[in-house]
Amino acid sequence: MDLKSFRPVSGLDLPRFAGIATFMRLPHIGLDDPRLVDVDIGLIGVPWDGGTTNRPGPRHAPRQLRDQSSMIRFENAVTRIVPYDLARCADLGDVGPNPADVADTLARITAFYDQVRDRGITPLSAGGDHLCTLPILRALARHRPLGMVHFDSHTDLYKSYFGGFLFTHGTPFRRAVEEGLLDPARVCMIGIRGSAYDFEDRDFATAVGIRVIPIDEFHARGVEDVMAEARSIAGTGETYVSYDIDFIDPAFAPGTGTPEVGGPNSYQALQVVRGLRGLDIVGADLMEVSPPFDPTGATAYLGANVLFELLCVLAECRARKTAS
Amino acid sequence: MDLKSFRPVSGLDLPRFAGIATFMRLPHIGLDDPRLVDVDIGLIGVPWDGGTTNRPGPRHAPRQLRDQSSMIRFENAVTRIVPYDLARCADLGDVGPNPADVADTLARITAFYDQVRDRGITPLSAGGDHLCTLPILRALARHRPLGMVHFDSHTDLYKSYFGGFLFTHGTPFRRAVEEGLLDPARVCMIGIRGSAYDFEDRDFATAVGIRVIPIDEFHARGVEDVMAEARSIAGTGETYVSYDIDFIDPAFAPGTGTPEVGGPNSYQALQVVRGLRGLDIVGADLMEVSPPFDPTGATAYLGANVLFELLCVLAECRARKTAS
Amino acid sequence: MDLKSFRPVSGLDLPRFAGIATFMRLPHIGLDDPRLVDVDIGLIGVPWDGGTTNRPGPRHAPRQLRDQSSMIRFENAVTRIVPYDLARCADLGDVGPNPADVADTLARITAFYDQVRDRGITPLSAGGDHLCTLPILRALARHRPLGMVHFDSHTDLYKSYFGGFLFTHGTPFRRAVEEGLLDPARVCMIGIRGSAYDFEDRDFATAVGIRVIPIDEFHARGVEDVMAEARSIAGTGETYVSYDIDFIDPAFAPGTGTPEVGGPNSYQALQVVRGLRGLDIVGADLMEVSPPFDPTGATAYLGANVLFELLCVLAECRARKTAS
Amino acid sequence: MDLKSFRPVSGLDLPRFAGIATFMRLPHIGLDDPRLVDVDIGLIGVPWDGGTTNRPGPRHAPRQLRDQSSMIRFENAVTRIVPYDLARCADLGDVGPNPADVADTLARITAFYDQVRDRGITPLSAGGDHLCTLPILRALARHRPLGMVHFDSHTDLYKSYFGGFLFTHGTPFRRAVEEGLLDPARVCMIGIRGSAYDFEDRDFATAVGIRVIPIDEFHARGVEDVMAEARSIAGTGETYVSYDIDFIDPAFAPGTGTPEVGGPNSYQALQVVRGLRGLDIVGADLMEVSPPFDPTGATAYLGANVLFELLCVLAECRARKTAS
Amino acid sequence: MDLKSFRPVSGLDLPRFAGIATFMRLPHIGLDDPRLVDVDIGLIGVPWDGGTTNRPGPRHAPRQLRDQSSMIRFENAVTRIVPYDLARCADLGDVGPNPADVADTLARITAFYDQVRDRGITPLSAGGDHLCTLPILRALARHRPLGMVHFDSHTDLYKSYFGGFLFTHGTPFRRAVEEGLLDPARVCMIGIRGSAYDFEDRDFATAVGIRVIPIDEFHARGVEDVMAEARSIAGTGETYVSYDIDFIDPAFAPGTGTPEVGGPNSYQALQVVRGLRGLDIVGADLMEVSPPFDPTGATAYLGANVLFELLCVLAECRARKTAS
Amino acid sequence: MDLKSFRPVSGLDLPRFAGIATFMRLPHIGLDDPRLVDVDIGLIGVPWDGGTTNRPGPRHAPRQLRDQSSMIRFENAVTRIVPYDLARCADLGDVGPNPADVADTLARITAFYDQVRDRGITPLSAGGDHLCTLPILRALARHRPLGMVHFDSHTDLYKSYFGGFLFTHGTPFRRAVEEGLLDPARVCMIGIRGSAYDFEDRDFATAVGIRVIPIDEFHARGVEDVMAEARSIAGTGETYVSYDIDFIDPAFAPGTGTPEVGGPNSYQALQVVRGLRGLDIVGADLMEVSPPFDPTGATAYLGANVLFELLCVLAECRARKTAS
C-alpha cells in the first residue's frame, strides 16, 4: 500500500497558513480522478443547510473546516495514532447541493455516497446541517441497517415541523429508523439536553428501543462509563458515528444554529471519540458547524480536531479489518 | 383622524434602549386587532430567506430592524416631514413563514398581504430576501400591473438557477413581469453593478422595456438627474418601490448576502428615497438585510433610516391622496 | 385557571426568529392592561446601569435577553417542569428609567414593583446593573425582611465609592441590610472571588451574620453540597433570589462589566438554580448582562436559560403555595 | 524654547506597537510635574460619559485614543506642519471623574482646566461625552465669552431631558450660552442631521443667532465654501473648537453612541480641520468616541488623526501668537 | 487556444459557498503540473509578511482572498470584459516562504517567479506584505527595467529602518530603483498620504524622477485626469502594476497593517484599475491585505474585486499582444 | 522599605477605565529612572513575535495586557496575599525590539535583562512569543543553570524549523538546555497536548531528563497532585517559571497563535500558579498572548490575572528571602 502519496503537507515544509486549503492538507482527489481507486478514507464536504428550521449557516462549514484543519498535524498526542500510516486518505471535495430544493439535494447527496460506497471508501463527512446525514445513510445502509453512536444535544427524532413537513434537521433519524437504515437497538444518543417543545421524540426513542443518555446522566457518570455503555450498545456490527457540534458546550463551540448550554467541555469532546476505539465503524460525520455564528473560527477549529480524532479511529478500524 | 394613538414612544419619555422593540416604537397591531381598521400605513416583517442562493440570513432582519429603528425620532431633518402627523402608522407584526417549504411560504405571504390590501392599508415591508417581493406583488398588483422603482445592485431578473429552479432571490421580477404584476415600461432599476455570469437578465430587461441604470451611469449623472428620470418612467400611475440594501456600498451596509463593491454612499442612499416624492406609491419594501453578516448592527441601522425615509414618502403620498 | 392565554408562541408554529421579541415569547401585558389581574408571574425588564462604577452596558440587557429568550422552548429537560402548566406568565414590559438621575430612577423602580407586589404577582426581573435590586427589595420587603440566595463573584456589600457615594452596583446589599430589607442570618452569597481592594465587605458580612461561600470552597465542595447549605440558611421563610451573571466564568458569560475569571461553568450555572427547589421564593432577578461586551449574544443566551430555570422554580413554588 | 524634550518617540526607533501608550507617544507630564511650566499644548483625557442619554461608552475613549495615536507620525503630509517644531506638547493625563455623580464630576473637570488655563497651556481634550465640553468652557471662558466652531450631527442645544434634567450630552451648548461662555454670534455648527424629536434646539439657535449648517447644505456647498463661512463667523476673536466624532458618517466612525447616517467621509473629516487655519483657537476637543461600539478601533484611529490635525492647527496658532 | 479547461466553476452549477477555494474558482495548476504549458495568466499567492514593521498579518491573505474570490462571477459589468474568453487563467498555488528568515524567503520568491517568467506566464500576485514585490521584480525585470503604476498611501521608498535594516515593507521600491529593476522616469505613485516621519522618501522620488501624486491632488483632479497622466508616464514600455490595499480608505478596506484615513472610496478603487487599459502590463499584484485585522472579510472581498479588475486588464493586454 | 511609592492607583480613587495604562496601574520607572534602585520586582513588556512560525500577533500583547491589568485590584482573594505589602513593584516599560532582525532582537532583550539582573530586580515579563524567554534566560542564568516550571501545550523543545532554522518559538528550551541555561533534571513541563509532527521533542526531553506531564495525565491526576510533583522536581534551587497562555483551553484564552483544544479551565489556570508557592523563583513570564486573535480582550484579561497570581508568588518569595 503506497501511503506516501496520501499524506498531508507538513507545516515544517510549507507553513500552515500557506497553500490551498484542503481537509487536513490532504491531496484533493475528485470522484473522476484516477487516483480514487487507491483511497481508503475519503473526507467529504456537504455544504448544505436546507433542513434548518432556525438559524442558517452550515452550508459554509466545509470551507471553514478545511481552512482550520490546516492547523492539525499528523500524530495524535494521546492515542499516538498516525492515521496516514494506517490508511490512504484524501479530500474528495464537496457534494454539489441545490440550495433551492430539498428533495433534489437529498438525491444528489445519496448519489455521491453511492459512488463512495461502491468504491469501498470509508467516508468521513463534514456538513452541513444534520439533515445531511439522512441521504448519507441511504447510501451506506442500503443493504442492511447500521448501528449508530450519536453525539448531540438533540435527538433529531422529531416527526415533523410546521404542520407536517417531514425533512428538517430535527427529523433525520426518525426517517432513518422508518426507512430501516438504522437498527434502533444498536443506536445510542449521548448528551441530549435543552428545553423541549414536548417529549414526543424521546417517547419514540423509548418505543423503538433507542438508548438516550441525557446530559445530567453524562455529567454524573463521566465519559469512560458512558462510552463503555455506548460501545456495548453498538456491539460488533457495522456502526455509523454522527457528531453534531452542538453536543459540545457553546462556550467551546459557539458557531452552531441551535446551541444548548450546559454541555461537555472540549476535553470531553475529544475523549468521547477516543472511546469509540474498537467499534466497526463504516462512516462518520461532523455536522452543524455554522461559520456565520463563529466569527473567530474557534468552532471550526475544535470541529477540525474532532474530525481528526474521528479520522484516527476510522484509520485504526480500517487497518484492523484489512489486517484480519 | 385620531393620530395620537398611532405615534411612536418618545425617547424623551422612555429612553431608546428601553421597551419592547417594534418598528419605529409604534404600537403593535396584529391582523386580528380591532384597531386595525384605523391603520393607514402598516410596517410588516417578512422573516424569510428561502430564496437565497448564496449566503443566508435575512430571515433575522425584521427583528434587528425593529431593534435599530428605536434609534429613529419623529421628524425628518431634511424634508421636515413628520409621518405620524400625516398618517396612522402601526407595526402589524411578522408574516409567519415555513422555512422548509418555498411554495407554502409564498402562499402564506400573499395571503397576509391580501388582507392588508383589502383593509386599504399601505404596506411598508422589511424582508427577508428579495424573493419576498414577489408574493407581496401578487397581492398588491392583483387587479392591474404596477410601475416600480427598484434600487439594487442586481436586476433580479434572471430566468432560473441550478438547472431550472424558478423561485430564488435572483428571479422575482422576471416572474412578476411574466405574471403581469409589473408594467415593464414603468419599471426603472437603479444602481446595477457587480460581475455577472452573463447578460441574460439585462437582455430580458431590454426586450420587455425595463430601464436599467447601471452604477457607472449613476455615479456620472448624480442622484438628482437619475431620480428625475425614475419619476418620469414611473409616471402618474400606481407604483411600488423595492429597495435592496445591497444597492448601498458594503462599507456602509456590509450585512447582506451578495454585496457588490463600488456603490452609493449613505447620503445618496437617503437622497434617492427623497427623490421619490410626488409618485403615487402603493407599497414599498426594504430587503436583504442579513444580521449574521452585520455584527455591529450598522446595516440594520442604516436600513432603519431607509425605512423611515420610505415612511415619510408614503405618509406624504397617502395624505395627499386622502386630501384630494 | 386559564393557562392557555399565557403561553409562549411555539417555534413549531412560528419560527423562533420571527415575531416581536418578548420574554420567552410570552404575551406583553403592561401595568395598565386589564389582563394583568390574571397574571401569576411577571417578567420585567429594568434597563438601567446608573450604578455602574466601571464598564457600562446593562441598560441594553432586557432587549437582548428578550431576543435570545425566543430560543427557549416550554419544557425543562432535566426537571421536566413546564412552567406554563403551573402558572400564568407574562412579559410586563420595562420600568422606564431616568438615565441622568440616580435617585429619580430608584424611586421609579420601587413605584413599579409596588404595583406588582400589590397585584400579588411574583416578579422575575432582568436588569440592569446590580443596584437595580435595591429598589426592587424596597418594594418586595416593605413589610418584613427577606432571606436571600445570592449568586455572584462580588458581595456587593461595600459601604461607598469615590469618597462617600452610597448608591452604586457595589453597595446594594449593604443598603438593603441597613434598611432592614434583608435578614442577614438568612442570606447566603455564593461564588465570591476576584482580587479585592480590601476585605471591608466581607468583614461586614461576618459582623452581621451573612454567609459567604467563596469560589474555592464552591469548587471544592461541589454544587449539591453548597446548595444544601444555601437552602438550610434561607430556611422556610420568604426568600429572594438574586443572580449576577458574573457568577459564571467569563468564558461562558463574557458580556458583563466586571468579569472575574475562575468561576463556575454553564452546567453548574443551571444546577445551582435547580438547587433552589423547595424554597419559598417571592421574587428573583438576573442582573449585569452587558450587551456591548457580548458581541455574539452568548451571554444573553445563557442568561435567558438562567431566567428559564428561575421561572421553573418560581412556577413550581407558586403552584405549591396555591395548592396548599 | 527647548522643543527636544517634548517630542514623540519615533517609530523608527521604537516600533509603534511597543511602549506605554500616551497621546501621540508624547511624554506624560502630570499637573504636579515640574516640567509642566514648559508645556505649550497639553493633551488631556476626560474619561466620563455621565451625560449620556442613550448608549454609553465614551468613558473608555481616552485610553483607546492613546493606543491608536501611537500610529501617528510627526509630519502632516498635506499642510507640512510638524507641530512638535512649533510648540512644546505633552500628555497631561486624565481628569479623574466620579462616575456616580454628575455635579461632582462637572466641578472636578472645571478645577482641572482652571489649572491648565492658569498655566497658559492650550488644551486639546479627548472626551468623554459631549457634556464634558461644558465644564471645560467654564474654565476657558471664565473671563469672556468665546466663539466656537462646532462639528457635529446634533446641535446639543436642547433645553432638558426626562422631565427637566438640565445636564446631559444633548444640552451643553444651551447651558454654555445661558452661562455666557459662548458668544452666539460667533458660533457656527456644521454637519447637523438626523431625525429629530422637534426643532426646539434649532429655534433656540435662530433666536440667539447661532449659525447652523445642516448636512444637505454642507454636501451641496462643499468643504471649502462652508469653512470660509465658519472662519468668517468666528472672526478674529478667541475661539474654541469642539468636534463630535458623530459629525463623520458612521461607516467611517461607527464607534459612537448616537450615530447619524449620511455624513461626511474621512477625507472631509480632516479637511474641515485644515479649514480652521488662521483662527485664534484657545482650545479644542474631540468627543463621543465610544470604544464598546468600536470593536476594531477604526473610530479611535480616525479620531486620533482628527486630534493630530487639531494639534497641527493649535501649534501653528500658538507659534504665530508667540511670534507676534 | 483551448479556453474551456481554464474557466472558473460557475455559481449556477455549484453554489459559491461550495467547493475547495482557489482564486476565482479557477483550476489549481502547480508549477509541476503538465497543464502549466498552456497557462497564459497565473494567479499566485505569496503568503509572507516578514518585512512588516508594525502590525503583522498579510501572510494569511492569499487564503482569505481565494475564499472571497469565489463570490466573483465571469463578466465585468462595466468594461464587459470576460477575461476567461481572452486568456487561459489558472491558480498556480502559493510560493512557500520561510517565516523565520528574510533573505531565504526573498530568494524563494524570485526562484518561483523565474519559472513563471520563463514559461511566458503573466503573473497576477496576491501578497503578502509589500516587500514581496521586490523579489517578484527581480524575476520579471531581470533583463531590463520596467515602468510601474503604484497605488498606495505610502511610497515604500524609504532607505532603511531600525538603524540600517534595508529590507522591510517600507523599502522595496528604493531597492528596486537601486537594483535597476524600475525605470524611475516611468514610475507613477498615486494616493500617497498619512503623517510622515520625514520626507526623505519623497526627496528621493524627486531626485530620481519618480512622479508622486498625493491624495489631495488625487481628490482635486479626479480619477480620469490622474489616470491619464499615469498612462502617459508609464508610456508604451513594459509596465508593472502594484496595488497596495491601503491605497483605499480604511472604511472600505480596514484589514491592513498601516491604514491611512482620507483615501479613495471603493468605486474609485476599481476605476483606477480600469484606467490602466491600454498599457503594456507584464505583471500585477495586490498587497497588504491583512486578515487578522479584517474580521468580516470585507477587505479581502474588495481585494478580490480589485484582483478581478486587474485580471480583466491583464487578459485584454495579453490578448492584444497575442493578436498583434 | 518605602512601599508607599510603589503601589497601584486605586479604582476607588481613579476609576479603572481612567488614566494611562501601566501594568497593574503601577508607576512607570524606566531603566534610566533614579527610582529604579528601590524596585524589587519589575514588570517588563517584550513586544516581539519574530520567532512565530504560524499566526503572528504577540508583539501587541504588552500594551493590551497593561490595559486589561487595570481591572485587577490589590488583594488576592484566595491566598490573601497583597504583593504591594511585600515588595516594591514597578512597570519598567518595554524592551525595544527590531521587528526585522531576529539576532539583533535577541541581543537587545538579553542586554535589557542583564541590567535588570545586575540591579537585583526580579523580572516578571509579558511577551511576546515564546522565543523571548531564551534571551531572558541568557541574562538570568548567566552564572548557573536554573530549574524551570513550564506551563504550555507545547514543549518548545524542537530542534529546528524550515530546513535548519534554529531560533523560533518552537525551539527556545532546546537552545536553553544546549546553552546550559536550564538544568534538565529540574525542569517540569505541564499541560502538553495537541497533534504533533513527530515526537522528536519528547524524545529529547526523555534523553536529557526533562519531565513532561501531558494533558491526559494532568486531567486524570488533578492540579494539586501535579503541582506537588512539579515542586518536588524544581526543588530548593533557583527556578524560573514560564507560562504560555496556550496552556489554557482556547475557550478561555482564544487569543494565541497556536491554540490546542482540551486544556485546563480558568480556575485551574490560576490554581497551578498558587501551587508554585514555596519555590525559590528568580523570574517568571507570561507569553504568547496574541491580541489580533483576541477581539474582546478576554485572553489578555485572563492573562493579566495570571500575571497577578505570578506577582503574588514572586512577592511572597522575595519577602521570604529578604526576611531570612
The length of chain D is 324
Residue E165 near residue E147, CB atoms below 8 Å: no
Per the CB < 8 Å rule, is D96 touching F20?
Answer: no
pTM beyond 0.95, yes or no: yes
Per the CB < 8 Å rule, is B99 touching A295?
Answer: no
Per the CB < 8 Å rule, is A12 touching F161?
Answer: yes
Instruction: Note the pLDDT tens digit of each residue in B250-269.
Output: 999 999 999 999 999 999 99
**pLDDT for position E57:** 95
3 state SS of D312: helix
**pLDDT for position E161:** 82
**pLDDT for position E323:** 85
The answer to whether residue D161 neighbours chain C at the CB level (below 8 Å) is yes
Per the CB < 8 Å rule, is F98 touching E292?
Answer: no
Question: Whole-number mean pLDDT of chain D?
Answer: 95
Chain B interface disruption, residue of D217, D246, D261, D268, most B CBs within 10 A? D261
**pLDDT for position F1:** 61
D303-310: average pLDDT: 98
Touch test D–F: 3 Cβ pairs or more under 8 Å: yes
pLDDT at F123 over 80: yes
pLDDT at E130 over 90: yes
pLDDT at A1 over 80: no
The whole-angstrom separation of Cα F113 and Cα F139 is 6
Instruction: Note the pLDDT tens digit of each residue in C87-123.
Output: 999 999 999 999 888 999 999 999 999 999 999 999 9
Give the model's confidence band at F198: pLDDT under 50 very low, under 70 low, under 90 confident, else very high: confident
Per the CB < 8 Å rule, is C265 touching A251?
Answer: yes
Instruction: Note the pLDDT tens digit of each residue in E158-206.
Output: 998 877 889 999 999 999 999 999 999 999 999 999 998 888 999 999 9
C321, containing H or E segment: helix C298-323
Per the CB < 8 Å rule, is E57 touching F292?
Answer: yes
Instruction: Note the pLDDT tens digit of each residue in C263-286.
Output: 999 999 999 999 999 999 999 999
3 state SS of F256: coil
Q: Which residue has the higher pLDDT, A116 or E4?
A: A116
Give the model's confidence band at E1: pLDDT under 50 very low, under 70 low, under 90 confident, else very high: low
Chain E CB contacts of F52 below 8 Å: 99
pLDDT at C1 over 80: no
**pLDDT for position A230:** 98
Chain E CB contacts of D75 below 8 Å: 195-199
Instruction: Note the pLDDT tens digit of each residue in E205-246.
Output: 999 999 999 999 999 999 999 999 999 999 999 999 999 999
Instruction: Note the pLDDT tens digit of each residue in D17-32.
Output: 999 999 999 999 999 9
pLDDT at B282 over 70: yes
Instruction: Note the pLDDT tens digit of each residue in B35-62.
Output: 999 999 999 999 999 999 889 999 999 9
Give the model's confidence band at B171: pLDDT under 50 very low, under 70 low, under 90 confident, else very high: very high
C227-238: average pLDDT: 98
Which one, of E226, E174, E230, E235, lies nearest residue E205 by Cα? E174
Nearest residue on chain A to F52, judged by CA atoms?
A15
Instruction: State percent of chain B over pLDDT 70.
Output: 100
Chain E interface disruption, residue of B195, B217, B219, B246, most E CBs within 10 A? B195
- State the smallest CA–CA distance between residue D187 and chain C in angstroms: 27
pLDDT at A36 over 90: yes
Instruction: Note the pLDDT tens digit of each residue in E110-120.
Output: 999 999 999 99
pLDDT at A45 over 80: yes
The answer to whether residue C25 neighbours chain B at the CB level (below 8 Å) is no
Give the model's confidence band at B12: pLDDT under 50 very low, under 70 low, under 90 confident, else very high: confident
Per the CB < 8 Å rule, is A168 touching B100?
Answer: yes
Out of B55, B161, B196, the one facing E17 most closely (by C-beta) is B55
The whole-angstrom separation of Cα D297 and Cα F63 is 14
**pLDDT for position B295:** 87
ipTM: 0.95
**Helical H runs in chain B?**
61-69, 83-86, 102-118, 133-140, 172-178, 200-208, 215-221, 223-234, 266-274, 298-323
Instruction: State percent of chain F over pLDDT 90.
Output: 90
**pLDDT for position A37:** 96
Q: How many interchain CB pairs under 8 A, D with E?
A: 82
Out of A161, A196, A250, the one facing C73 most closely (by C-beta) is A196
pLDDT at B162 over 80: no
**pLDDT for position C234:** 98
The whole-angstrom separation of Cα D38 and Cα D126 is 21
- State the smallest CA–CA distance between residue F251 and chain A in angstroms: 5
The answer to whether residue C129 neighbours chain B at the CB level (below 8 Å) is no
**pLDDT for position C38:** 96
F139-147: average pLDDT: 97
**Chain C partners (3+ C-beta pairs within 8 A):** A, B, D, F
pLDDT at D1 over 80: no
pLDDT at A11 over 70: yes
Per the CB < 8 Å rule, is D195 touching B77?
Answer: yes
The answer to whether residue B53 neighbours chain E at the CB level (below 8 Å) is yes
Residue E90 near residue E44, CB atoms below 8 Å: no
A49-60: average pLDDT: 93
Give the model's confidence band at C324: pLDDT under 50 very low, under 70 low, under 90 confident, else very high: confident
Give the model's confidence band at C2: pLDDT under 50 very low, under 70 low, under 90 confident, else very high: confident
Chain B CB contacts of D259 below 8 Å: 301
**pLDDT for position F220:** 97
**pLDDT for position E295:** 87
**Helical H runs in C83-125?**
83-86, 102-118
The whole-angstrom separation of Cα F295 and Cα D254 is 16
**Chain E partners (3+ C-beta pairs within 8 A):** A, B, D, F
Nearest residue on chain C to D290, judged by CA atoms?
C292
**pLDDT for position C198:** 86
In sequence order, the β-bridge partners of residue B127 are: B46
Per the CB < 8 Å rule, is A21 touching E21?
Answer: yes
3 state SS of E114: helix
pLDDT at A27 over 80: yes
pLDDT at E136 over 90: yes
**pLDDT for position E223:** 98
Chain A interface disruption, residue of B48, B104, B162, most A CBs within 10 A? B162
CA atoms within 13 A on the CB side of F111: 9
Instruction: Note the pLDDT tens digit of each residue in A260-300.
Output: 999 999 999 999 999 999 999 999 999 999 999 998 999 99
Per the CB < 8 Å rule, is A17 touching F54?
Answer: yes
Chain F CB contacts of A10 below 8 Å: 197
- State the smallest CA–CA distance between residue D250 and chain E in angstroms: 9
B117-139: average pLDDT: 98
Give the model's confidence band at A199: pLDDT under 50 very low, under 70 low, under 90 confident, else very high: confident
Give the model's confidence band at B242: pLDDT under 50 very low, under 70 low, under 90 confident, else very high: very high
Instruction: Note the pLDDT tens digit of each residue in F28-60.
Output: 999 999 999 999 999 999 999 999 988 999 999
Out of A12, A17, A305, the one facing F261 most closely (by C-beta) is A305
Instruction: State percent of chain E over pLDDT 90.
Output: 90
**pLDDT for position C100:** 80
